[in-house]
Structure 1
């Protein structure tokens, strides 16, 4: 069967999906030969879900149990997402680079460490497993300086963002405030007002009031324009609608254009109202210094509101959270920052020394005076000179600094690499903080050791963010792309993007040779792993749903440089050049959309694969894999199975794949029920930690999904049940907890091991998985 599928296709191109699938099947044929498996068996795959360190440790136990029973060696594909990619990439790394490491019981780099065995029969933990256990809190790297490193990276990225983005904007605000406060206001009143109050006015005492008048005049003007527009527009619309012989398309187009222009006017009106409110508030506060306190309060309140919306878990309980909490929080932060900027710029430009020179000389003469003399290098103009110099430096820095090196992505990548891909000595002991090999280990060299396959073919799932996607930006595919598919992709906010040793790409970019395309050939396994786990990023959210998708929220995260995502040179463009461009703060940073690109620009934004599909099964379905073992270790305290629902929905919409679970009621054995006489008391128990579903492909082919989910059941060991009694959130700790101690690490690892062992107690399942 596999021989027919691996037949070479004629006329394939570097961006062809068929060429990618052919290369994969050639690899699988060699891998099966390496493990003495028949070449005509149906395809098999193991998927490890997202979920941060929780998923990584649970899936570690799953891998150990599968290896112990001789099943891990029988998988053709290893498909990972986010946290599952931590341990999946670790397995690929050691299998590909270390002699004696593999996927069999006696070569697994972590050992088996069966929780059911007891000394003296039970062997000691391998050095690598002990190392992983000590580094469950990978973000702090196991020392007191770990979190300080992260804070330093955040501060560095924020400072660079402030230099490149905030300083120019702040300069514009100050120029605007100066012009309005001192030039427009005072010069207008100087020649217009002839009253005893003129001197009082010229000293700027009523500047906030007058600025409020200016904005009010603008707002009134916009209101008048809007009224005229709607009056005239409504009349014309009614008039033309009475023409029965008018082209229906023209009538529809005119109506849509009218709606679009109306929305634009409302947007401009909202901006004017927001700006007008600031001087109005300033003029009615008890003291002018109250303004910065108000800005600080709004910024802090918005931050707390945004954090609250982010911390609450997904599922049924989230219906109690207002859907607007995240966007409102982001809006309050931005509004508070605008108030603070207004106060600071007003304060700086009310310096008496500077204002005296401006009043005596005028704006133009004052600027000429600054640059003609050395006054700019003396007080009080020296800060202005330093400020201008800083802007020039910011422009230079923003142009040459790699954007991927200054965001949290680099810190996140290095932390994961240190925990899951340490260098080993000749005895197999990790060398502490040494990660030189993994830092340069290219993705295109993985799954292969000395010319022979070293493990299952690894698919690292990520999410390509897109907006304003057009049909002409999409590479040729086997299936036609209609407007319905494009609309579906735009609604989701992105598509699946895969990193793999031979070919990488997506439906939008096409598939390209990883070792040859300049966009991919320098990507390391560690980088791909970190991209797959980039959970926090502007404009992206789990399964495409969440506050991060809101544009206001996304733009705030972008301005504050809060992103784990990665800017990848567009492989379609890079294929025609020798070198890939380097992303900087201007391209794509400053001029990019906060919610991705249209797929045709110089750069593409990649984020956590869970933002598209969090189980890692989607790409296995594209390849019509017959037997799939899927580990769902996502946080699901309410057992809503949201990630499974998302997979089922997208699989049917995109591939025509249907799942039919074999149990009635559906997923019933996974649902916990209260039992008496069990330890711990008052804890519900599930019947089984797995479910089985038939897979029906559009082509008529069939397969089986073995779905494993963390659950508490009656045959678990006492220490696991005791941990559940002490920590009721187990086994669904929030993904925000990325700091696992040894006890929590072992509880999740042993649970993953036990779930597989429980599934294999079913004779039919054990027999089937033993011969795949």
Structure 2
């Protein structure tokens, strides 16, 4: 083997001989050893890289809000624009001054506590004169160490104009809680159906991937019984993002994870029964093409187990007839047995409404059903209704409303 080396203006040839290929093997070993030293990091280099990653993660955790760095804000703004901005008075004072990016004015999203304040100037579109608003959310308890919550994996958490909280965490005045939480934020939390931790729907493998891809609509909010309850979210979000990633949310930390109220009670009647409401009207809009009444059955079990109150209701008239797309009625009336807990308490009435067909609907509704077998129980994943689809659902609501008010009024 000969190597050629340049020296000045000339060059010289150096002959190097190896016996029986051993030199070639030796040179390959030297090259491999040198390459390994270049490509194999030392313990010090690994420690430096790990420290740098932790430092970057810590900085991002402080600089980036774990709530705002999600799809929640996008979802909230759409709800505010669609519903809250639409009902704002045109002559509101001060005049709307929309943000050039979001096209929303701060007045489009009032504070939740304002709905309970009768002293606010009417010119601002308030006071609110409707029923007392209870916004249901689910407090996620997905930590696998909590054996008693392995099926439910959630508890009810209420956002209301006067107080926010639950029996597990305690309550705080709404105006003092979570930076005086706005109505739009509360509505978006209550509708956060698709997120990493989803109450009894939680799957830890799915939670991991949803967190990785930032498919997160839920909200980290201050624990009402701990320091920091005045803040909407944690200053350092990275630890809570890891909790979300591995599905280990609980009520023991300074911040708790809230999601769609349907992750505990999809009908919203649990809290009404806990408050001993005498008359409850429940509209079941869940996807239930086989008339399984899963949501109603689940809340009946929880109310009986937690509150000692039973619900007696016959669903035969609402159930789809065998081999037929029709029911007999759109509603059923049940009895809420408060007297099982306190004999002096009067029983309550539950008016249960179910989206169904009885065969006497308008011709256009029946025509839509003929071409869409899943109607009126099409999946809620369909977020893009056509004109005919929207009108079919709207028109179906009219006979349902007439029937319910006619028969329910007789039962009162």
**TM superposition score category, shorter chain reference:** 0.7 to 0.9
What is the alpha-carbon distance in structure 2 between the residues aligned to residue 413 and residue 668 of structure 1? Answer: 39
Asked if the contact 1:596/1:604 (under 8 Å) is kept, the reply is no
Query: Which of 183, 198, 207 is the equivalent residue of 1:540?
Result: 198
Q: Deviations over 1:222-278 (max 9, x none)?
A: xxxxxxxxxxxxxxxxxxxxxxxxxxxxxxxxxxxxxxxxxxxxxxxxxxxxxxxxx
Q: 2-side partners of 1:453 and 1:459: how far apart?
A: 14
Does residue 572 of structure 1 match 2:241? no
Equivalent residue for 1:688?
329
CA distance in structure 1 between the partners assigned to 2:300 and 2:136 by the alignment: 17
In structure 2, C-alpha distance between the alignment counterparts of 1:528 and 1:361, rounded to whole Å: 52
1:726 to 352, 361, 371: 371
User: Per-residue CA shift, 1:414-440, capped at 9, x if unaligned?
Assistant: 112111122546389x99974314554
Q: 2:174 maps to what in 1?
A: 514
* Distance across 2 between alignment mates of 1:653 and 1:202: 74
CA separation of 1:715 and 1:431: change in aligned 2, threshold 3 A: farther
Q: Superposed, which structure 2 residues align to 1:205-604 within 5 Å?
A: 359=37, 393-423=56-86, 424=88, 426=90, 434-437=103-106, 440-450=109-119, 454-467=129-142, 487-517=147-177, 519=178, 521-541=179-199, 544=200, 546=201, 549-574=202-227, 582-590=234-242, 594-604=246-256
Alignment deviations for residues 257-303 of structure 1 (CA, whole Å, 9 cap, x no partner): xxxxxxxxxxxxxxxxxxxxxxxxxxxxxxxxxxxxxxxxxxxxxxx
**Which one has more relative contact order, counting CA pairs under 8 Å at least 6 apart?**
1
- The answer (yes or no) to whether the contact 2:171–2:225 under 8 Å persists in 1 is no
CA distance, structure 2, for counterparts of residue 579 and residue 498 of structure 1: 17
Alpha-carbon shift at residue 564 of structure 1 (Å): 0.9
Cα deviation 1:609-628 (Å, max 9, x = unaligned):
11101000000010011111
Aligned length: 372
Q: Determine the C-alpha separation between the residues in 2 that align with 1:360 and 1:493.
A: 50
**2-side partners of 1:360 and 1:741: how far apart?**
62
Contact 2:67 2:233 in 1 (8 A): no
1:703 paired residue number = 348
1:88-109 deviations in whole A, cap 9, x for unaligned?
A: xxxxxxxxxxxxxxxxxxxxxx
Contact 1:467 1:598 in 2 (8 A): yes
CA contact (8 A) 2:365 2:392 kept: yes
TM-score (norm 1): 0.44
Q: Render the CA deviation track for 1:462-504: whole Å, top value 9, x for unaligned.
A: 000124599xxxxxxxxxxxxxxx7543541110000000011
Aligned with 2:379: secondary structure?
Answer: coil
Structure 1 position 761, deviation (Å): 3.1
Seen in structure 2, the aligned counterparts of structure 1 residues 693 and 718 have a Cα distance that, compared at 3 Å, is same
Task: Give the Cα–Cα distance (whole angstroms) in 2 for the partners of residues 362 and 552 of structure 1.
Answer: 33
Query: CA deviation digits over 1:145-172, x for unaligned, max 9?
Result: xxxxxxxxxxxxxxxxxxxxxxxxxxxx
Checking the alignment, whether the CA contact within 8 Å between 1:539 and 1:594 is kept in structure 2 is no
SS in 2 for 1:403: coil
List per-residue Cα deviations over 1:593-614 (Å, max 9, x = no partner): 6324331212100011111010
Q: Distance in 2 between matches of 1:366 and 1:589?
A: 29
Contact 1:632 1:710 survives alignment (8 Å): yes
Q: What are the residue-to-residue correspondences of 1:623-642 with 2, within 5 Å?
A: 623-642=275-294
CA contact (8 A) 2:284 2:352 kept: yes
Do the aligned partners of residues 742 and 574 (structure 1) sit closer, same or farther apart at CA in structure 2, a change above 3 Å counting? Answer: farther
* Pairing 1:673–2:333 present: no
Q: CA RMSD in A?
A: 3.6
Work out whether residues 357 and 366 of structure 1, in 8 Å CA contact, stay in contact via their aligned partners in 2: no
Matched residues in 2 for 1:431 and 1:390: separation? 42
Shift of 1:708: 0.1
Answer whether contact 1:554 1:594 (CA < 8 A) is retained. yes
Q: Name the structure 1 match of 2:394.
A: 749
- Which segments of 5 or more consecutive residues in structure 1 lack a partner in the other structure? 1-193, 205-354, 372-383, 471-485, 675-681
- Write the distance in 2 (CA, Å) between the matches of 1:441 and 1:363: 56
More helix per residue: 1
Distance in 1 (alpha carbons) for counterparts of 2:153 and 2:58 = 31
CA contact (8 A) 2:312 2:336 kept: yes
The equivalent residue for 1:619 is 271
**Do residues 653 (structure 1) and 326 (structure 2) align?**
no
Matches of 1:703 and 1:364, distance apart in 2:
72
Contact 1:445 1:501 in 2 (8 A): yes
2:152, 2:276 → 1: CA distance? 23
Query: What CA distance in whole angstroms lies between the structure 2 residues aligned with 1:606 and 1:531?
Result: 7
List runs of 5+ in structure 2 lacking aligned partners.
1-21, 121-126
Residue 539 (structure 1) shift: 3.2
User: Which structure has greater strand proportion?
Assistant: 2
- Going from structure 1 to structure 2, the CA distance change for 1:596 and 1:569 (only over 3 Å counts) comes to farther
